[in-house]
Structure 1
Amino acid sequence: MSTYQKIVVGTDGSKSSLLAVERAARIAAAFDATLIIASAYYEDNEEASKTLRQDSVTILGDDTAQQNLAAGEEAAKAAGATKIEKSVRPGTPVEALMGIVNEHDADLLVVGNRGINSLTGRLLGSVPADVARQSDCDVMIVHTVD
């Protein structure tokens, strides 16, 4: 098994996403890897309304995304991660996560399972399913909601 050097985890500030951050932080601590906590945001309501999928929290503006990253960093430190970076990017959660993974040449992407088993997720796709299909690195989908 290869070791992970760079792990990206997505957060939207929700309790579910913070559970994914904690899991990713434990893995990062175990591998002495860099944990990159990532968040997407929409620049305005018009951009947010263009998405058909509503399985993730709609984050408007960079300020809210930065607050979510700060909460994620606290959770990651509490779970044992020591090498932590933060990255925020405008766009849909899938676009932002894929951009951040590629930008950092990540070995592992960790996301929560919210939306994967919903009717909308089954019909239109979900963030976890879409990133799993698109990612060139390993993807871990953490069971964060029933």
Structure 2
Amino acid sequence: MSEYYKKIVVGTDGSKSSMLAVERAAKIAAAFDATLIIGCAYYENKDDASKTLRQDSVTILGDEQAQQNLASAEEAARAAGAGTVETAVRPGTPVQALMSIVNDNNADLLVVGNRGINSLTGRLLGSVPADVARQSDCDVMIVHTVK
């Protein structure tokens, strides 16, 4: 584990669960005086969205909805104490987008909510938190956002 964090990435899909993860990441960023990068994935069209079998994240069609989610998340992060906040949007699945943002920014920590990790679908097909934990080269914090 890093002695300290300089760049923290957190994903949001605009859901209440993901906003809890954003708030937790913002508090960690404030404590370490780190840059918080809030990321959001989107599908470019309905065909791309229908190819995923996952039901553990909100389906976001188009960049506009993703940008709206990021604006709300940035406001919540600043209210929670984060000083330096950046946003990033990527097309693709949530896992692809988060891994891209983490790698592009050489992040030290990735924060995600636990939604989907304990569901039957999550156990059979994988979940965003479990998949990013397996794929990430940086520390991953899975925030308990859903019981």
1:54, distance to aligned residue in structure 2 (A): 1.2
What code does the residue aligned with 2:105 have? H
1:51-70, aligned counterparts within 5 Å? 51-70=52-71
Structure 2 residue runs without a partner (length 5+): none
What code does the residue aligned with 2:51 have? K
Aligned to 2:109: 108
Aligned residue for 1:38, secondary structure, equals strand
1:18-29, aligned counterparts within 5 Å? 18-29=19-30
Aligned to 2:75: 74
Aligned to 2:11: 10
- Asked if 1:145 corresponds to 2:138, the answer is no
Q: Distance in 2 between matches of 1:74 and 1:85?
A: 11
**Pairwise CA RMSD:** 0.5
1:53, distance to aligned residue in structure 2 (A): 1.0
Aligned to 1:128: 129
What code does the residue aligned with 1:41 have? Y
Q: Distance in 1 between matches of 2:127 and 2:45?
A: 22
What code does the residue aligned with 2:49 have? A
1:2, distance to aligned residue in structure 2 (A): 1.0
Give the TM-score, by structure 1 length: 0.99
Give me the identity figure in percent.
81
Q: Distance in 1 between matches of 2:139 and 2:78?
A: 23
Give the TM-score, by structure 2 length: 0.98
Structure 1 residue runs without a partner (length 5+): none
What code does the residue aligned with 2:117 have? I
Equivalent residues, number = 146
Aligned residue for 1:66, secondary structure, equals helix
